[in-house]
Amino acid sequence: MTRAARAVASPNVVCIDDFRPLAHLRLPRPVFDYLDGGADGEVTLRENCRVFDDVTFRPRHAVALSECDLRTHVLDFDISFPALLAPVGYSRLMHPDGEAGAARAAGLAGTGYILSTISGHRVEDVKAASSGPVCFQLYLMGGRAASEAIIERARIAGCSALVVTIDTPVAGLRERDFRNGMKELMSGSLLEKIPFLPQMIARPGWIVSFLRDGGLSKLPNVVIPGKGPMELVDVSAALASAAVTWNDLKWIRSLWPGPIVIKGVLTGEDARRAVDEGATVVGVSNHGGRQLDGVRASLRALPEVVAAVNGQAEIWMDGGVRRGSDIVKAVCLGARAVLCGRGYAYGLAAAGQAGVTRALEILRADVERTLRLLGCPSNRSVRPFVRGCARELAVGKTAISIQLSARSISVQHQSSDHRICHPERSCSFASEGAGESKDPYKRDELWFINVARVIARGL
């Protein structure tokens, strides 16, 4: 076991939250606050985590399980459990292992990694580092010519999907970054940097590793024609001209022949538009509470998006995932898989690739333990095991409140109450207007869709 691995082994790190103080001890304040912080008053950032407390389980006891199957099929590949590593910009600032180390850890754990455009390692190197699937997350930085070039590089490198983030017309107001002088430290003059330098030199270990890694690097995946790789800039400057519109999706589709994930969806309307634009996956996300503060937690938006997508695309969700039980709750509410961002990034900051490996070990063990305690043999049959999560769902223009229970759903709308029973799980189940499906993912998704349709007819 390496020194880094020993530092994050039990009992030093037992859960994901144990990584956070270790990351705080190692990173300079501006880098830690970039990772840890959110937009404005950080209301959505906090709610993303807190909302999982509203969901409780209904276990089945005295059940003998010889094995527990965590495997999940996403896009056209299988992963070892229903979680992938989300794109985290500036990962190489957190640790020299950066994106390549995180992708390598993901591959060894049997899951996928999504590389951010704002990365310190070349897409070719990250893909080569991983034995698992790697997707590329696209920001339209540096102009269309630069974007066309990186889309082609991602295709040639063998990336499994293109992830298009749609919730960044501008960067959110990340107050911690302004207070810490992130802009000045990243791209300011020496005179502008001076007031903020004490925060950096307070972490000599990080300074040494940062300088050994070459210091501030350029963005190797954003190559501007005639100028070369784009200079490393703070996030506000990076996203200033990177807005994506629905019209851009047509252009992106013409360049990318593979699956497209549209990430940043929080409403049924945007979910349906994403499907219409050819999304293979709809990603329910509020950007980790880093964009518009005050929007719903991702978990609260999930049921509405599941109903709106109507089984026509996979659903991924990210935001606030810190435990394997959080992953199970998201799957219960309709997600095919979740994306984990800060959960592994704290580990990366604390111990590099070893920290990411440990984070994935913790999450996978959490998921298996949760399923066994529920008496559930597979994450593909877990949805009846959750209750106590009141949710709002839009059906046309009608707002309703849904209360999930073991095999039924109670619905309240004004003075009307409805109860819709879950179909027998051993039977195939068909949604109105759709063919029968024996796929457990599809069957449960169609259950949610039928709920919405029954309610729409009854109200």
Q: Which residues are catalytic?
A: 287
Contact 381, 69 (CB under 8 A): no
Contact 319, 288 (CB under 8 A): yes
Per-position b or e across 316-338, b if 16+ CB within 10 A of its CB:
bbbbbbbbbbbbbbbbbbbbbbb
In degrees rounded to 5, what are phi and psi of residue 165? Answer: -90, 125
CA dist 295 → 307, 336, 340, 445 (Å)? 19, 22, 19, 25
CB atoms near residue 372 (< 10 Å): 15
Give the three-class secondary structure for 165.
strand
> Residue 419, class by beta-carbon neighbours within 10 Å (0-12 exposed, 13-18 middle, 19+ buried)?
exposed
Parallel, antiparallel, or unpaired for β 56-57 and 72-74?
A: unpaired
> Any idea which residue has 């039990």 for tokens?
10
Count of H helices and E strands in the chain?
Answer: 21, 18
Among 113, 110, 172, 53, residue whose Cα is nearest residue 348: 113
Question: Edge-to-edge strand order for the sheet containing 390-395?
Answer: 390-395, 398-404, 408-413, 416-421
Q: Is the dihedral of CA 367, 52, 22, 133 positive or negative?
A: positive
Cα–Cα distance for residue pair 112/84, rounded to 1 Å: 5
Tokens of 249: 């999706």
Parallel, antiparallel, or unpaired for β 228-230 and 134-138?
A: unpaired
Among 137, 75, 157, residue whose Cα is nearest residue 111: 75
DSSP notation for 143-156: -HHHHHHHHHHHHH
CA dist 6 → 1, 13, 36, 351, 357 (Å)? 6, 10, 24, 10, 12
Cα–Cα distance for residue pair 342/146, rounded to 1 Å: 28
